[in-house]
Chain A
Amino acid sequence: MSWLHRLANTLRPRSLSRDLDRELAFHLAERADDLAASGMSTGEAALEARRRFGNRTVLTERTHDRDVMLWLESVLADVRYAARTLVAHPGFTAVAVLSLALGLGANTAIFSLADAVILRALPVRDPAQLMMVEPRDPKHPGPSPSADVDFTNPIWEQIRDHTHVFTGVFAYNSHTFDLSNGGLVRHANGAIVSGAFFDVLGVRAIAGRLLGTGDDVRGCGGVAVVSGGFASRELGGAAAAVGRTLSLDGHPMEIVGVSDPRFFGIEVGRKADVFIPLCTEDLLVGPGTLDQRSRWYLQIVGRAAPGLTLDAVSARLAAAAPGITEATLPQRWSHVQQAEYLGRSFGVRSAASGFSDLRQEYDKPLWLLMAAVVLVLIIACVNIANLLLARGAARQREIAIRVSLGAGRARVVRQLLTECVLLALAGAALGVLFARWADLLIVSWISTRRQPAALDLSFDWRVFGFTIGAALVTAVLFGLMPAWRATRVDAHALLKSGGRGLAGTRRHRMSRPLVAAQLALSLALVTSAGLLLTSFRNLASVDPGFRRDGIVLVEADLSRATPDTGRIPAMARGVLDGLRAIPGVRSVSQSAFTAMSGAGWNEYVLVPGFTAHDPEDSLSFFNQVSDDYFATMGTPLLAGRAFTPADGARSDAVVIVSRTMARRFFGVDNPLGRTFRTPVGDTASPPFRIIGVVGDSKYRSLDETSSAMVYLPLGSKAGLQGWAEWNYEVRTDLLAPSIVPAVRDAIGRVSPAIEIEAHALSSQVDATLARPRLLATLSSFFGALALVLAVVGLYGTLAYDVARRRNEIGIRMALGAAWRDVVRLIVGDAGRLVLAGVVIGAALSFAGTRFVGSLLYGVAPQDLRTLAGATLVLAGTALIATLVPAWRAVRTDPTEALREE
């Protein structure tokens, strides 16, 4: 076993064991004393003693190696013995490994997702020093709970130039570029950043140069930096990419450099491939954009000097706040708004792990799922503990023999624990495979068309540590108690008794509370799964206020087709006519916004006689639509009339409102002829006159409460001016992919420079269901898993009891008990366990479901019907688990059972 020697060598500490050294030094000293006593001089004696001793280092090493090797050997022997035992009981081993694999795999899968989405720091230099500026309300000191961290360019410039709290700071705006030059869009994720971006993050170039503060000049030309991945994917490598020109949103930009392929930006879940400097805003959006004081779109991230805390940086920013707000005050705001603006302050939050829409959306669900999988693992542990208890009872003879042969109790416990560790590690290995697969599946579930989740799920040390740690904790959890009990034997008495076993009743006492606990935990999991399922079903069947099927949504960006915004309405009209002419198309409408697209338009509404308690109450959503919009979408007209083509040309503004708008602001169902205005700075707009009322439609998401909606006709002077991104709702029986070529051709005939994107409206609505669907699916899976594990535990306990009580049952039957009585005995036994589980589980559910509360739609966290349903499911499954042991008990042959005694 030379490898054992090698292993021993690697385990040898540099200075060997100090104890051993001391021991040998003592030996030398004693020998030298003896030699000196026999007449040698002290120096000679010491020399002679050392000479006789031979090479002390070699001896030390040899003795130490012996120690390590003996330890290793005993561990190896334990492992070999454990492996043999496990192989000898394939049924037990398979059940244990499989349930551990599911439990540990689920934990690894969810943890590695949570790690990637929530925990992991950005792969940049010293991420802990990165801080993100956030707005603060001086009236409510402390970190801002708001997710909104957008600032205007003037604020960014003030913070860059007039505060000196960061060693480096940059502005960031996430942007999806269109690489096409007209026609169907080709998206590239990227960002518009200020020059210091790469420098502050410590990212290096692999070709050309990255952006620098030299790029932060007004009137700059178009340059771009692309990621290493993008360069090799799209441009034939980093070297070839530099110097080429990309068309980004229709503007030519020269690639000046390629960034490190490992750098994915600072948004977790979204890979950024193209970076252009902030100064190009004047080019992309229009001259003067950078000076706009109410265009909120920049995130500001800085690197604090080492040692500065979030509070220290926040305090310095707060001190600078009055100067910043004064210099950036939006001129056209009302006095009230301006006064509020001047009172605003700033602070910072940590940006060590970047920021992420995905994280905001899935932070809570992931922790919830984490809690669920931990419970599943606990249930699996209890199961195996129960199995081990049963086996411990069966192995008493073996253990008694080992104890009587001189093995200490600790030694036997170690042996039994080795088995558990082996089981747990096998389960973990299998579970990791399961987790890899599960993670890919989950990522595909949470990816939507607009937000594909790009996550780094590589198996890093943290995930590895988590899995191994969980496996070891698990092994101790399920292994220690049974091992301790199994070794608490009176070897003498046991061997004398012929090995029938004495600990049966003791094992019995332990396993019943365990089974009840399993049932309770699984009831809690099944209940929350039921709640999330109900919530998902409610959401999926919500009436959005329009017919979502059979509509292909065509988004057309006309801004590049003509520099003259005055020509856009006519071109948009041309697109509408072109789409209507496509064969197989029933009707087409045009609108500025579509439901659940992520974009929206809202305004405050001034209605005589309506006073809002909260300013938010007087907000209404707006949309501008063509005359056949309601007919195409299938939104019912409740009162008045729909738009006609003539409505857009009128000199007064006519509108159609939703029912909620009518009720909230006018208190009636048909406020036809009534008017309202919107605020414009400190004055008010001309009046809008209501000519019709339509049914409510969902605007941003399916779970919103009905919102107030105002529809303006196309061409209305009160509508959006110069708006170039129009949506067309195409009602057709054809599927989206088959109609796209015809759509492209029809729009291309109007102008080849129009940028087009087309997809089914239903997929856009479905995308908003990604999170509830994920929660419902996974919690159901974990609930079912918990249920199966718990019921297997119940079955195991009952089956064991029946086997143990064979004798008693035989006597009862011999004394005239009918099969009904026997069944009642077993079922009653199970019933008491289930009842205990249900009572504890219901209490657990009531305590636990409030964590689920905010994720539910249309169902209360303490919904009794769901709890009752879950209880029924549990009881039903438990009954099935009871039937087999009960059947076996009934079939007991009294004579045979008694003969065994």
Chain B
Amino acid sequence: MARSKSDVLQGTIDLLVLRSLDVRGALHGYAITQHIQRGSADTLRVEEGSLYPALHRMEQAGWIRGRWGTTEKNRQARFYAITAAGRRQLAQEQESWVRLTDGVNRVLRFA
């Protein structure tokens, strides 16, 4: 696998999705984008083009589990929920994110 700059992005998406699912319980893809968009006060927008590949990748990794269900509007949608492994992953990612932003902030202040 190419380890390129998309890694950072990918990592962020994982973090955001896992966090959303941890807080809100099972969500479908559209709800996840809405949640992130609203939660970030419209500063972050998740592209569909990255969301679905990421969801499937995380499902394969065993962090989330997808299941077909019905929405209030009676539509068939795939709901994703976080797993135990996903929570462990979330903790790790959160930690490294905090460390990263902390580091970046220090550099910014230092300059």
Contacts and interface: CB of A to CB of B under 8 A. Distances in A.
Interface string A42-86: 000000000001100011001100110011011000000000000
A26 B28 contact: yes
A67 B76 CA distance: 21
A406 B85 contact: yes
A20 interface: yes
A1 interface: yes
Contact of B77 (A23, A58, A59): A23
Contacts of A364: none
B77 A63 contact: no
B78 interface: yes
Interface string B28-70: 1110000000000000000111001100110011100000000
Interface string A1-29: 10000000000000000011011101101
Interface residues of A, number: 26
User: Binding site of A, secondary structure by majority: helix, strand, loop or mixed?
Assistant: helix
A71 B60 CA distance: 8
Interface string A371-414: 00000000000000000000000000000000000101000000
A66 B88 contact: no
A53 B52 CA distance: 12
B29 A74 contact: no
Given A26-B28, A33-B73, A67 B85 contact: no
Contacts of B49: 54, 58-59, 62
A27 B60 contact: no
Nearest to A24: B52
Contact of B30 (A22, A30, A67, A406): A30
A35 to B, nearest CB: 12
Interface string B72-96: 0101111000000100100000000
A408 B53 contact: no
Contacts of B53: 62-63, 66
A31 interface: yes
Interface residues of B, number: 22
Interface string A527-563: 0000000000000000000000000000000000000
A24 B76 CA distance: 11
A862 to B, nearest CB: 59
B34 to A, nearest CB: 8
A23 B73 contact: no
Contact of A27 (B1, B48, B57): B48
Contact of B48 (A1, A20, A59): A59
Contact of A23 (B61, B62, B78): B78
A406 B61 CA distance: 11
Nearest to A69: B1
Contacts of B2: 1
B57 A70 contact: yes
Contacts of A1: 1-2
Given A54-B48, A59-B52, A23 B1 contact: no
A753 B88 CA distance: 97
Contacts of A29: 75
B60 A26 contact: no
Contacts of A33: 73
B48 A67 contact: no
B10 to A, nearest CB: 11
A73 B1 contact: yes
A24 B47 CA distance: 13
B26 to A, nearest CB: 14
A29 B75 CA distance: 9
A594 to B, nearest CB: 76
Contacts of A62: 49, 53
B62 A53 contact: no
B60 to A, nearest CB: 4
Nearest to A17: B56
A238 B49 CA distance: 65
A22 B76 contact: yes
Contact of A31 (B30, B61, B77): B30
A23 B60 contact: no
Contacts of B61: 70
A26 B48 contact: no
Contact of A53 (B1, B48, B76, B85): B48
Given A33-B73, A406-B85, A23 B29 contact: yes
A767 B62 CA distance: 67
Contact of B57 (A26, A30, A66): A66
A27 B29 contact: yes
A67 B56 contact: yes
B3 to A, nearest CB: 12
Contacts of A31: 30
B52 A26 contact: no
A22 B78 CA distance: 9
A408 B48 contact: no
A19 B78 contact: yes
B76 A26 contact: yes
A362 to B, nearest CB: 52
A408 B65 CA distance: 14
Contacts of B52: 20, 23-24, 59, 63
A408 B60 CA distance: 13
A19 B78 CA distance: 9
A461 to B, nearest CB: 33
Contacts of B85: 406
A296 B46 CA distance: 88
B78 to A, nearest CB: 5
Interface of B: 1-2, 28-30, 47-49, 52-53, 56-57, 60-62, 73, 75-78, 85, 88
- Chain A to chain B: the 7 pairs with minimum beta-carbon distance, closest first: A30-B30, A66-B53, A70-B60, A63-B52, A26-B77, A63-B53, A23-B78
Given A1-B1, A26-B28, A54-B47, 19 more contacts: A1-B2, A20-B56, A22-B78, A24-B48, A24-B52, A26-B30, A26-B76, A29-B75, A30-B28, A31-B30, A53-B48, A62-B53, A63-B53, A70-B56, A70-B57, A71-B60, A406-B62, A406-B88, A408-B62
16 contacts: A1-B2, A19-B78, A20-B56, A24-B48, A30-B75, A30-B77, A31-B30, A33-B73, A54-B48, A59-B52, A62-B49, A63-B52, A66-B56, A70-B61, A74-B60, A406-B88
